[in-house]
Amino acid sequence: MSGETARVAVVTGASAGIGAACARRLAAVGFRVWLGARRLALVEAVADEVGGVARALDVTDAESVAAFAAELESVDVLVNNAGGARGRDPVTAITDQHWRWMWEVNVLGLVRMTRALLPQLERSGSGHIVNMGSVAGFEVYEGGAGYTSAKHAVRAITRTLRLELVDRPVRVTEIDPGMVATDFSRNRFLGDEARAAEVYRGVTPLTADDVADCVAWAVTRPPHVNIDELVLRPRQQAAAHRVHRAG
């Protein structure tokens, strides 16, 4: 497919994990992919691999988001993937810094990107917003409120957007994974490898590519078909807090 005619997909948080896997999958099904994240060297490496475009992007920074959006005339797919968690403390022990980080990236970042790119999504004639939610968007667990409340907000925003955009040519999908083997837990526990490894002990988690497969499937349905939400988890994880560990 030539650069002029390829449909455009934007992926936020494309430097690692699920975002990088989405960029690879979307390129494989024919999209011209624009990849954004803060660690530009990592984004460039993935973009080189898939023939995409790499840009530094901080979804918590309005100027960064505006500069990213200004380069795009038309966008077919926006994958709002940038996000993550900080800590596993009780509600009253979470620091303001961690509350802010989780809400800024997962919630406000998603809103900023959606607001900035909605004109381009409409201009494409068949736009599609894919929000990376989580089972944390409808389940809670002790020590998880900073993250689960942010993902609950993502779910509320996704469902509201679907109502507000019903008369426009823009689909709205939420993908809700359970446990996925990425840097998510390493980042959540600020580099504590042992604590991160414990999350996945005795479990075969989802891979980032399992999630990207769902994203690619949702965005390649015919334009009149809206996949509202898609929940996927490891077989050994019946709920966020109910995990069967082998051995």
Q: What sign does the CA torsion over 61, 78, 49, 231 have?
A: positive
Closest chain position to ligand NAP (CB): 17
3-class SS of residue 13: coil
State the residue for tokens 């005619």.
5
3-class SS of residue 27: helix
Choice between 126 and 196, CB closer to ligand NAP: 196
3-class SS of residue 36: strand
Choice between 187 and 220, CB closer to ligand NAP: 187
Residues 198-237 that bind ligand NAP (CB under 6 A): 208
Residues 21-80 that bind ligand NAP (CB under 6 A): 37-39, 42, 57-60
The reply on whether position 177 binds ligand NAP by CB under 6 A is yes
The mark string for 75-94 relative to ligand NAP (x by CB under 6 A, - otherwise) is ------xxxx----------
CB distance 214 to 229 below 8 Å = no
Among 12, 114, 148, 158, binds ligand NAP (CB under 6 A): 12
Alpha helices in the chain (DSSP H): 17-28, 40-50, 62-70, 96-103, 109-123, 145-164, 184-188, 193-199, 208-219
Which of 68, 147, 184, 189 is catalytic? The answer is: 147
Choice between 6 and 42, CB closer to ligand NAP: 42
Residues 136-175 that bind ligand NAP (CB under 6 A): none
147 is catalytic: yes
CB distance 182 to 175 below 8 Å = no
CB distance 77 to 34 below 8 Å = no
Choice between 1 and 193, CB closer to ligand NAP: 193
Q: Alpha carbon of 14 to those of 54, 174, 208, 210, 227: distances in Å?
A: 9, 17, 11, 16, 22
Q: Which residues are catalytic?
A: 147
Binding site for ligand NAP (CB under 6 A): 12-13, 15-19, 37-39, 42, 57-60, 81-84, 105-106, 109, 132, 134, 177, 179-180, 182-184, 187, 208
